[in-house]
Amino acid sequence: MIQQHPLSRRATLKALGAIVALPWLESFAQAAEVKPPVRLGFCYVPNGVDWRRWHLEESGPLQKLSPTLSPLDDVKQDLLVFRNLALNEGRDHGDGGGDHPRATSSFLTAAHAYKSFGKDIRVGGISLDQLAAQRRGHLTRLPSLELACDRPTSPGMCDAGYSGVYRNAISWRTPTSPVPTELNPRLVFQRMFGTNERGKSRATSSVLDLVMEETKTLNGSLAGADRRKLDEYLYSVREVEQQIQKAEAFPVKELPPGTVPPEGIPPEVPDHIKVMLDLVALAFQTDTTRVASVMFAVGGSDRAFPFLGISSSHHHYSHHERKPENLDALHAIDKFYVSQFGYLIRKLKSIPEGAGSVLDSCLLLYGSPLRDGNLHDRGDLPILLAGSGGGAIAPGRAIQYAAETPLANLYLNMLDVFGIQEQRFSDSTGRLADLRK
Amino acid sequence: MRTLFLLLIAAVPAATAADELPDYSSQIRPLMQKYCVNCHNEKKPQGELSLAKFTDEAAAMQARKVWLNVLHRVTGREMPPDDAPQPTERELDLLTKWTAGVVRKIDDATPPQPGRVTMRRLNRVEYRNTVRDLLGIEFELGFDPTRDFPADGAGYGFDNIGDVLSISPLHMEKYLAAAAQLIERSIVVDGIDGPRVWTIPANEVRVSSPTKPADSTGQWPTNWIAEIDVRQAGEYRINATISSKVASGKQAQMALQTEGSQPERFTFSRQTKANVVERKVKIVSAGRRQFWLAYQHEQNKPTFESGDAENGEIVVESLEVSGPYIAVDSLPASHQRLIIARPGPDKTRTQAAEEVLAAFLPRAFRRPVSATERQKYVKLFAAADRPEESFEAALALPLKAALVSPHFLYRVEAEQQGKDGSYSLNDFELASRLSYFLWSTMPDDELLRLAGEGKLTDPAVLEVQVMRLLADPESRALSENFVSQWLQIRGLDNFQPAAKQGKIGTRLRIGMASEPIYVFHEVLTKDQPLTQLIDADYTYANGDLAKHYKLPPLPEHEDKQKQIEKDKILRYSIPVDTHRGGLMTSAAVLTVTSHPDRTSPVKRGKWVLDALLGAPPPPPPPEVEALSEPTDPKLKQSLRERLEAHRTAAACASCHKRMDPLGFAFENYDVLGRWREKDGSLNIDASAKLPDGKELDGVTGLKGYLLTEKRAFSKALTEKLLTYALGRGLEPFDTRAVENIVTQTQADGDKLSRIVVGIVLSRPFRERSSVNP
């Protein structure tokens, strides 16, 4: 193995420092005692939960966890459990049925989806992760990662009048542009650590220059929605061009020992989720990005769980009708997903950084935009937060807020910790108190 | 007896003339006050429908959707609910007449317009087919650059809807990568003028050894590696010049190798001088590749220690790699098709490039390309051109650029200044619409030629072209892509039945997914009436599906059943009592409308309403269950509360009254669509009663019923096909075009192909509204 000399690497980066911020380096931190950057992670689960076995009655320091949260017992000191956070904009507001697409697109936007089967797709605002990526993405090789462990589904003709795009994405770059998710771990790894050969990236840039020029000419002969489509295209071209430049500015770091590039999509769901979470951890550890979201499944997911010994699908059980057998199956699924979150927490905790672990610098949001799939309600959502964002919040507690406190209030706090000061985020009414204790 | 579906689906009884419209204020509004607004009021509109706000006809004229809904519900006898006061026959007649009439009046008052299709990005299927035809390459196992494209968004049930097909940086990355792979596959960029030779003298050969790095002391490396930028896949040769001095009785084993190839071994057992060993290797894709000479360990034990004077030594004098070895007379067809000119004595490299691009770009952009546009691509070639490299190497760049150009990735329809708010598409835009509709790919040479001659806008020519394209095997693309989405059977891929229901093996899954497509394709291309889709006397199955259905063996194969290839999809005549024939009894449909562990009459009924009758029930009200949360029985509910609960139940009932009976007719089919007489120990009851009192007995009854509702079915199918053909959702102003096509098709013997012709000749297909009509 080729030996790397940390100091000489640092010197190289310093030379670039005038134009490019320093990527985070473990050795550098130890030398200079610089605080690791804050990272934001988001784990989305569809269909709500078996609320009775999820929720905690008592506020204050976490003692005994609920049955659903019990897989997190060993990391409860890193956990905040919320009560009464709500997504009011996920409610129908007179739009009628279609809870799953509406809920999914409201999760990180806290905004309302415009009911459309295809024309004028839009939500009321951009998502939290994309806002963070747009403001701080220039500091890392990739602005953000959008991952999923489930194939996007086509809802057929009747998803209550919503196009499938609403249930297949939680990240919205603009109110009209959902961000597609990447499912293939091999390709995520390639995105994170792929190297550009100099000649090749120059050739690619010349191709991009040409098509950008074409786009300008073409724009003149288009009108209406066609122009918006072309804007989307132009944005994508520019973004790829920037990535090429960034790939040169942020050279690939030496990967942690033992890193094995993943293969394609594992056939078994638990393996797929695990490898995606490994990639999130690796991305944070190497400071490849500071913002990552993972959809454990798409909205309204019909995933089957033969490996849990239950026969029907998540969505089916989520409409439990209070039947004990349905609730038991749903509980098993809830617990399974919570365990995956536990895996991510433990993984990040196992990676030393500064005086502690990578987890310390993180704020990891876990939850569902529905409380109970049988009711499709939006109040008192199942929401967890792990990590302390570099000591900015004090985990290890359950906090109960007033009923119908907007989830967006928490999003404002998260943005604060991430270093972005916003007056409002969607329907926020202020910041959550007591996060620091 | 009222005929439920004729009214329900065709929506507007043909005979109602606007002048016979009952008076809204004096006749209709009082009726609604009497029977409807108790629940459907402004304060707490049940089903989110308020009928109180329409104070006069002018207000009513603004709400087409509302009246269509009211018409469906009232004529279907779903509303008012059973335990509410019922209108008399005369009142009902008046309501029906008015709602039907007002919808028609609204349609008549809507200015006709062709509508605007938003510029469509090629979806994954279209992209695949287009590059296949443009470049002349085949996708095969292990080669599919589109495999990792993000999933295409769907709208209105289809994945070719312009509004929903977005593009993101992730798409762009993948398009760039795919373009590189595709061009690399299509043209040969190196070795045409002879193989390239890389000679690596011993001191530049990279050596690697886990234990003993090479140095000047004569220590031995384990591997001698040559790293080379391979520009072109193909055959390469690697040879090494080796001198050896091996002690008597000892052996040294070496191997020449490249990534992914088996080592070819050479054994040295004595003294040789400047011995050249050579082997041929195949490189499958361009990139930085390693070729190496390996010191072989036998069973992990070296036959002698390198540099061990006692045993001997080996000296590698040089490594040489050459290639690619290209047989110029057998260049791939794609190369020959694309590279129509090469530089020569009377042609500069730029001139040759210009010739190639002048032929390529119009096909890539599916329209003539101006010299100005072309020049940008020629410039790109010139900038990349290096005299020491091949002509093709530089040409690859503009070819790749074309594959990520907006003119290639989008089906651009240029804005025109229209007369009366709309304009006709030009010949080339029409050629693309036609080709992507029927073949899901770019227009072929004949379409482009006709477009170039300006003939395609002629309806007669257009009709001949529709029939030509339908007769071509490529039209299977329409059957595949349309049917799988229309019938919503793409979900079959992910359907996992519960263990007790049995398994769907790969071949059965393929058979299931193929059956409806094959049936549709036969009806379409053999000019059969569309009623065959409801009840055909034939079907298609592969070995596993035939077994699944318990189909009797085919006569021609009876003697040699075993020899039937199980994979092959064959046509079966359907004897009576096999319970098959038509799309709705296909295992694919019956499976995707089931839960993993039981059948779902609700889903199946909804499917019939949606796919076959074009009248999908509205979605369940939001947070529906919240209202039906069981209240504590110890608490006494107020009358009001009980009424609330009742109304909620009624709101559910009104739709389920329509869905459930249709679904129960399928109860003889299990989760995987197999025929059954019993469900567990219980006998199956597949009888059903429609809301209007009509009784159906099982699927045979349902089929008979649907056949009497042929027009409704024809209309539903036309609407779906038109949506797919246009790539946009239908609007009220499209009603006229749909009705015309349905009527015309009926006059032409209800042939499915006539619907396709009707769509292509229709105004929404051939014209476009200006942005501000």
Instruction: Tell me the per-residue pLDDT of B650-704, one tens digit each, with 9 for 90 and over.
Output: 666 767 777 888 999 999 999 999 999 888 788 888 888 887 788 888 999 999 9
Look at residue B472 in the predicted model and tell me its pLDDT: 97
Rounded Cα distance between B439 and B549, Å, is 31
Partner-chain residue, chosen from B161, B405, B611, that has the shortest CB–CB distance to A211: B405
How many angstroms separate the CA of residue A92 from the nearest CA in chain B? 7
How many angstroms separate the CA of residue A177 from the nearest CA in chain B? 7
Average pLDDT over residues A219-226: 91
pLDDT, greater one: B626 or B476: B476
Q: Model confidence over B629-657: pLDDT tens digits?
A: 444 444 445 444 544 554 556 666 767 77
Residue B167 reports pLDDT greater than 90: yes
Inter-chain contacts counted by CB atoms under 8 A, chains A and B: 233
Count of CB atoms situated within 10 Å of the CB of B383 = 13
Nearest to B260 by CA among B302, B291, B306: B291
Q: How confident is the model at residue A27 (pLDDT cuts 50, 70, 90)?
A: very low
- Tell me the C-alpha to C-alpha distance, in Å, between residue B655 and each of A35, A98, B618, B699, B709: 60, 16, 8, 21, 20
pTM: 0.86
**CB neighbour burial string for A359-397, b if at least 16 within 10 angstroms, e if fewer:** bbbbbbbbbbbbbbbbbbbbebbbbbbbbbbbebbebbb
Look at residue A246 in the predicted model and tell me its pLDDT: 87
CB distance B491–A153 less than 8 Å?
Answer: yes
In this structure, are residues B625 and A319 in contact, taking their beta carbons and an 8 Å threshold?
A: yes
Angle (nearest 5°) at CA B482 between B476 and B487: 125
Look at residue B655 in the predicted model and tell me its pLDDT: 72
Q: With contacts defined as CB-CB under 8 Å, which chain B residues touch A164?
A: 153-155, 164
* Range of weakest confidence among A94-103, B135-144, B332-341, B552-561: B552-561
Q: What is the dihedral of CA B546, B549, B555, B558, to 10 degrees?
A: 60
CB distance B406–A233 less than 8 Å?
Answer: yes
- Burial group, residue B141, by CB count within 10 angstroms (0-12, 13-18, 19+): exposed
Q: How confident is the model at residue A14 (pLDDT cuts 50, 70, 90)?
A: very low
Q: Model confidence over A293-316: pLDDT tens digits?
A: 999 999 989 888 989 998 888 988
Mutate to test the interface with B, among A186, A198, A205, A207 (most CBs of B within 10 A): A207
E strand or H helix that includes residue A313? none
Q: What is the DSSP letter of B619?
A: P
Q: Where do we find the tokens 């082997």? A: B279
Residue A108 reports pLDDT greater than 90: yes
Q: Where do we find the tokens 């899954």? A: B509
How many angstroms separate the CA of residue A351 from the nearest CA in chain B? 29
Residue type, A67: P
Residue B462 reports pLDDT greater than 90: yes
* Residues A45, A49, A53, A58, CA torsion sign: positive
- Tell me the C-alpha to C-alpha distance, in Å, between residue B683 and each of A283, B667, B668, B678: 58, 10, 10, 4
Count of CB atoms situated within 10 Å of the CB of B36 = 23
Residue B708 reports pLDDT greater than 70: yes
Does the beta carbon of B606 lie under 8 angstroms from any beta carbon of chain A? Answer: yes
Look at residue A23 in the predicted model and tell me its pLDDT: 45
Contacts of B533 (CB under 8 A, 6+ apart): B519, B520, B523, B582, B583, B713, B717, B752
Q: With contacts defined as CB-CB under 8 Å, which chain A residues touch B407?
A: 214, 218
Average per-residue pLDDT in chain B? 84
Partner-chain residue, chosen from B412, B499, B618, that has the shortest CB–CB distance to A218: B412
* Range of weakest confidence among A175-179, B115-119, B380-384, B613-617: B613-617
Rounded Cα distance between A184 and A265, Å, is 5
Look at residue B395 in the predicted model and tell me its pLDDT: 96
pLDDT, greater one: B360 or B98: B360
Partner-chain residue, chosen from A98, A215, A221, that has the shortest CB–CB distance to B415: A221
Average pLDDT over residues B753-769: 96
Which residues sit opposite B573 in a β-bridge? B538
Q: Hey, what are B204's tokens?
A: 């530049």
Look at residue B648 in the predicted model and tell me its pLDDT: 57
Partner-chain residue, chosen from A163, A173, A230, that has the shortest CB–CB distance to B155: A163
Look at residue A155 in the predicted model and tell me its pLDDT: 54
In this structure, are residues B667 and B702 in contact, taking their beta carbons and an 8 Å threshold?
A: no
Average pLDDT over residues B39-64: 83
In this structure, are residues B766 and B466 in contact, taking their beta carbons and an 8 Å threshold?
A: no
Rounded Cα distance between B441 and B126, Å, is 5
* Range of weakest confidence among A1-10, B146-155, B225-234: A1-10
Contacts of A18 (CB under 8 A, 6+ apart): none
Contacts of B492 (CB under 8 A, 6+ apart): B509, B512, B513, B588, B591, B592
Mutate to test the interface with B, among A159, A189, A211, A378 (most CBs of B within 10 A): A211
Q: Where do we find the tokens 């040699």? A: B560
**CB neighbour burial string for B692-723, b if at least 16 within 10 angstroms, e if fewer:** bebebebbebbbebbeebbbbbbbbbbbbbbb
SS3 for A27-87 is: HHHHHHCCCCCCEEEEEECCCCCCHHHHCCCCCEECCCCCCCCHHHHHHHHHEEEEEEEEC
Q: With contacts defined as CB-CB under 8 Å, which chain A residues touch B151?
A: 151-152, 168, 180
Phi, psi of A432 (to 5 degrees): -75, 135
CB distance B728–A118 less than 8 Å?
Answer: yes
CB proximity under 8 Å: B 111-130 to A: 116, 118-119, 121
Rounded Cα distance between A366 and A344, Å, is 11
Residue of B nearest to A317 (CA): B595
Rounded Cα distance between B770 and B773, Å, is 5
- Burial group, residue B555, by CB count within 10 angstroms (0-12, 13-18, 19+): exposed
Average pLDDT over residues A254-258: 87
E strand or H helix that includes residue B696? strand B695-697
* Range of weakest confidence among A124-133, B231-240, B564-573, B622-631: B622-631
Q: Where do we find the tokens 């190289």? A: A12
Secondary structure (3-state) at B302: strand
Residue B772 reports pLDDT greater than 80: no
**CB neighbour burial string for B625-637, b if at least 16 within 10 angstroms, e if fewer:** beeeeeeeeeeee
Mutate to test the interface with A, among B118, B160, B163, B405 (most CBs of A within 10 A): B163
Does the beta carbon of B401 lie under 8 angstroms from any beta carbon of chain A? Answer: yes
Q: How confident is the model at residue B204 (pLDDT cuts 50, 70, 90)?
A: low
Runs of H (alpha helix) within A250-305: 269-285
Contacts of A228 (CB under 8 A, 6+ apart): A176
Q: Hey, what are B200's tokens?
A: 């690596």
Average pLDDT over residues A347-371: 96
* Range of weakest confidence among B16-20, B64-68, B134-138: B16-20
Q: How confident is the model at residue B553 (pLDDT cuts 50, 70, 90)?
A: confident
Secondary structure (3-state) at B748: coil
Average pLDDT over residues A341-362: 96
Q: Model confidence over B248-267: pLDDT tens digits?
A: 666 667 777 787 777 777 77
What would the DSSP string read from start to end of B400-463? HHHHHSHHHHEE-------BTTEEEPPHHHHHHHHHHHHHSS---HHHHHHHHTT-TTSHHHHH
Q: What percent of chain A has pLDDT over 70?
A: 90
In this structure, are residues B214 and B258 in contact, taking their beta carbons and an 8 Å threshold?
A: no
Does the beta carbon of B400 lie under 8 angstroms from any beta carbon of chain A? Answer: yes
Q: Where do we find the tokens 């009414």? A: A429
CB proximity under 8 Å: B 39-68 to A: 48
Average pLDDT over residues A185-201: 83
First to last CA, chain A: 47
